[in-house]
Amino acid sequence: MRGALLGPQQLKQSLGAVVRALGREGPVALITAGWQEREDQDEELAAQLGRSVINLRLYERGEQVLAADPEYARAHRARQDQLRQIQEFYKLRLERTFDAALDIARKAAGTDLEAEEVRLSLEHIRRIDAEHLERVTALREAYELQTRPLLRPVIVRHRAELKKILSSVGVVAIAGGHVAVLLNRLRMFGFHELLTDEHALIAWSGGAMVTSERVILFHESPPEGAGISEVLEAGLGFHRGVVPLPNPKLRLKLDDPLRVGWLSRRYSHSKCVAFDQGDFVLFDGDRFFGAEGTLLLKQDGTVGTGWTS
């Protein structure tokens, strides 16, 4: 799939430039399900995109599904509760392991053991991440096997409508918002199977996160204290090789080499890339081009540009 990943669009807009760069004509299918109840407040986006837009209303469609199919709604809620619980335990495990890793790093600093100790700590943390990802993936697969969402009549009906709309557009734009809700709605309607190679994707902020291979939640100075990033679950994998980190000024400490280096090494399966307001990069599968303003977080704790082909 081809397309573009963008940073937040509130203070500096780049959607129009990206649509033009992709060179696709016609209306844009818009997904703002991450905005939940405010899904339909999309007037500004139409103006920014400079095209007519058709909002797919995935959040509202999801609410209709849950209201029309109580059995599915019950299973859905039970799964959400289970996921929340597992995420909480994973976070607890992660926090304790991080505490130990930081403690060891401090004590080993300046000694011959330092590099090896940090490597072992990060390996341990990566293992916890991987096990968590495996666990939530298995849970989702079991849930889909049990509920067969794509065969349920109400979802079948919505999918048919979505398929028809998507056949008339060349660009699909996915806004950010609540990434768990957004991902949930995209999966509920089997969205990855509805897109074809004919579609170009524009995804910003949370939208860029859920369309990557792995959704990483992050905020290095939240009010509750521990600012350790965490794996939520697998993303849709529409683009590969980048962990999008939107809004770094608010959420990251890019001037802290230890944090930058550890984040980069922890998710070394991909490039960790910060997207500030209006930043964007074009992609084609696992190849990236351009990169207006984005910053690569490097394993040595520094940040830099020029990471694309």
Partner 1 sequence: MIITGTHQILAIDLLKASTPDGAAVDAFMRDHTFPIVEGTKVTFVFRGDAESVYLKTWVWGLDNSQPLHRLENTNLWYLTLDLPRKSRFEYKLEVVRGGHGQWIQDPLNKHRAIDPYGANSVVHGDGYVVPSWTQRDPDAPPGKFEQWVIKSKAFNERRDFLVYLPARFRKTRRYPLLFVHDGPDYLRFANLGTVLDNLIHRLEIPGLIVACSGTANRFGEYMNDERHARFVTEEAVPDLEARLPLLGTPRGRCLMGSSLGGVAAFSTAVRYPGFYSRLLLQSGTFTFTDLGNKSERGELVVPIIKFMNRFRENPTLVAERAFISCGMHERNIYENRSLVPMLQSTDMEIRYVESRDGHNWENWRDRLREGLAWLFPGPLRLVYE
Positions in the binding site for partner 1 (CB under 8 A): 8, 10, 34, 37, 63, 176-180, 205-206, 209, 217-219, 222-225, 230, 232, 246-247
Q: Which is nearer to partner 1, 118 or 246 (CB)?
A: 246
Q: Which helix (H) or strand (E) holds 44?
A: helix 43-49
From the number of C-beta atoms within 10 Å of its C-beta (0-12, 13-18, 19+), residue 65 rates as: buried
Q: How far is the CB of 202 from partner 1 (least distance, A)?
A: 15
Distance CA 233, CA 217 (A): 10
Q: How far is the CB of 277 from partner 1 (least distance, A)?
A: 11
Q: How far is the CB of 253 from partner 1 (least distance, A)?
A: 15
Q: Which is nearer to partner 1, 230 or 292 (CB)?
A: 230
Q: Which is nearer to partner 1, 118 or 201 (CB)?
A: 201
Sign of CA dihedral 48, 51, 52, 56: negative
Distance CA 201, CA 173 (A): 6
Sign of CA dihedral 22, 24, 25, 28: negative
Q: How far is the CB of 196 from partner 1 (least distance, A)?
A: 27
Q: Which is nearer to partner 1, 67 or 113 (CB)?
A: 67
Distance CA 206, CA 24 (A): 23
Report residue 120: phi and psi, to 5°. -65, -40
Q: How far is the CB of 112 from partner 1 (least distance, A)?
A: 37
Distance CA 206, CA 52 (A): 22
Q: Which is nearer to partner 1, 41 or 52 (CB)?
A: 41
